[in-house]
Amino acid sequence: MNPRNHLVFLMISLTIFTFSSSQNISFHFQSLSLRNLTLLGDSYLRNGVVGLTRESGVPSSSSGTVIYNNPIPFFDPTTNSTASFSTKFSFTVNNVNREASSFGDGLSFFISPDPETLGSPGGYLGLVNSSQLTKNKFVAIEFDTRLDLHFNDPNDNHIGLDIDSLSSIKTADCTSIGIDLKSENLITAWIDYWNDLKNLKVFLSDSGYKPANPLLEVDTDLSGFFQEFMYLGFSASTEGSTETHFIENWSFTSFGIRHLDPRIHNPHNVSDNTVSKNPTIGVPEDDRNNNNHHKKIGLTIGILGPVFFCGVLVVFGYISFKKWNRVKTDMNIQAELLTGPKQFSYKELKTATNGFHSSRIIGNGAFGSVYKAHLASSGTTAAVKRSKHSHEGKTEFLAELSIIACLRHKNLVPLQGWCVEKGELLLVYEYMPYGSIDKVLYQDSEHWSFLKWSHRYNIATGLASVLTYLHQECEQQVIHRDIKASNVMLDANFKARLGDFGLARLMDHDKSPVSTLTAGTMGYLAPEYLQYGKATDKTDVFSYGVVVLEVCCGRRPIERETDGHKMINLVDWVWELHSKGAICDAVDKRLNNEFDLEEVRKLLEVGLSCANPDSEKRPSMRRVFQILNNEAEEIKVPKAKPMLSFSSSLPLSLEDIVSSSEGEEEEEEASRMVPEISIDRSQV
């Protein structure tokens, strides 16, 4: 059957389903819209995703709520029946300043009779007013990210059932199933309540698939808490924290409320005791029983027949549509890549990763995991990046594949192939045995000692070479937007290989930069990019400078002092040593003085010149590459770090920013990366 017929079947089935099950309520939002939702407090909508709390680089207090506009029937007083329900939603708990370990407090899904539920910040989760603890009525599932002994929390990573109070009736530890609510991964929750069984179950997963067993199960009767109509929503809060909370999709179904059938329960019908026991025209008892029996059979067939037929149509239409949509997507992607890298089969990659077993995971990114794979066809080892089943995951996959498939450079992580099959989005890269610079410098004590000075200098040179290629030698300029130590891989010879192009953008060489939502990782972001959201080659240069300083010094861009009280910015720390004429003191002490002092000075000064707050004073990557190869004169670095002042002529209003970024909605969609940050410039 062709796709058009599939769609016809789907439309018919959906129409019939709507009329045949009007007593039930169901909705599905793949992306969220103000047409269906009401935002309260600090909540906001951006690109189909609801942010519940304020985004801020400094600790603050915030609470926000989003509520579905239409009341949902939960109780029928006529039949004394209560609804059962099932809901599914995906959320992320991010942190604008993760280095500061500023977490808390969490979010909740709630059902309330109040269409304007909004509570206080902090441990009140936006559900309860701190001055009127018993005012708000609700049934809620909390996803708590802070230990609050006032509410008898078991830890800072749990879920719980709350009824009119934030002291949970029952809790469950998310760590027991390997989930960290603060991991910045996309987490999906399923909540099922069966009124007939008086049972509520909560399932949690970061893979997109519903687990077989619930994380939280409570035997409870909620009928006493449900009014005739209730409102659904989400709330979240922070207190002295930079934690942020996002709801990315949501579906809900209620069922089980019984209504009186007017054909049977009609007040004008004659009751049984008014019928004459001796009618004039007698009807034989057997015939009467047979007639009643036939009527019951006919009524049963008349009701169940259409219902069964409609059910078959719905299932067939849904399966056909999903299959047609998946085939269409696969064909569109495949058509664009016929001349590109190799297309792998899903079966081959599943076998190569042992069924995508958790023991094969060698890395986790914003939109998926990376698995070590043994390819039987070539006898080689590869790294398979598996995108998550989300809109952002698909956006990143297409962005990364469309850009890197056309690039060829010795300092790029080579793309070997791809797979779009069975709803999976897979990229196959050459395996990098030493992982990322971040891993070697800070995690893998077995290998950092092998990272000699010559290796570090070559890493900086190789990274400068590939950025020169991306910025100036490609047909279109490639702005990476996420250069950091964890995205620079090391091959078997400790040579730098730049990877992860999920945030990258193509731009004509003579085109002015556009404003988008700021994306990247705190500590590597240029100040003008944070302020105006304009990604250019100079913002990549800034990030490169931070990575160079990181490689030289063996220190993270932002880290806590040994006494644990103060955060140190790497650029500021190196610049302070430079102002004292002691810049070489910044070199990694683990090198044990086994380095070329002149090269150390040169590389540290190159790092500072690239990390100059004034973008106009930063060198091009071609100039950096020439300096490191002794082909150009070095750049004089000022003794004191330049102070940065932003021009008032640049667009600061929301209207100007939106105008300058018109037509770039797809870029903004892909910028909500984790652990990357997204900054609402309307707050600037």
Can you tell me the distance from the alpha carbon of 360 to that of 215, in angstroms, rounded to the nearest whole number? 25
DSSP assignment string, 531-580? HH-B--HHHHHHHHHHHHHHHHH---SEEE-TTSS-EEEHHHHHHHHHHT
Can you tell me the distance from the alpha carbon of 363 to that of 371, in angstroms, rounded to the nearest whole number? 7
Given the residues 482, 537, 540, 588, select the one marked as catalytic.
Answer: 482
482 is catalytic: yes
Neighbours of 109 (CB within 10 A): 22
Is residue 183 classed as helix, strand or coil in its secondary structure?
Answer: coil
Indicate the helix (H) or strand (E) that contains 332.
helix 285-336
Indicate the helix (H) or strand (E) that contains 45.
strand 44-46
Can you tell me the distance from the alpha carbon of 74 to that of 313, in angstroms, rounded to the nearest whole number? 28
Q: How far is CA 653 from its chain centroid?
A: 28
Q: Which of 397, 534, 424 is nearest to 479 (CA)?
A: 534
Q: How far is CA 247 from its chain centroid?
A: 9
Q: What does the block give as tokens for 177?
A: 């199933």
Phi, psi torsion values for 656, nearest 5 degrees: -65, -40
Which residues lie across from 200 on neighbouring strands? 193, 218
Q: Specify the amino acid at residue 297.
A: I
Residue 213 vs residues 202, 203, 480: alpha-carbon distances, Å = 9, 7, 41
Can you tell me the distance from the alpha carbon of 64 to that of 445, in angstroms, rounded to the nearest whole number? 43
Q: Taking CA 670 as the corner, what is the angle to CA 665 and CA 676, rounded to the nearest 5 degrees?
A: 130
Strand intervals (E) in 175-263: 187-194, 199-205, 216-219, 229-241, 243-255
CB within 8 A of 37, min separation 6: which ones?
A: 45, 50, 66, 67, 68, 69
Q: Taking CA 682 as the corner, what is the angle to CA 676 and CA 684, rounded to the nearest 5 degrees?
A: 80
Neighbours of 150 (CB within 10 A): 10
Q: How far is CA 445 from its chain centroid?
A: 31
Q: Which of 668, 667, 671, 651 is nearest to 659 (CA)?
A: 651
Residue 4 vs residues 9, 12, 323: alpha-carbon distances, Å = 9, 13, 13
- Which residues belong to the active site? 482
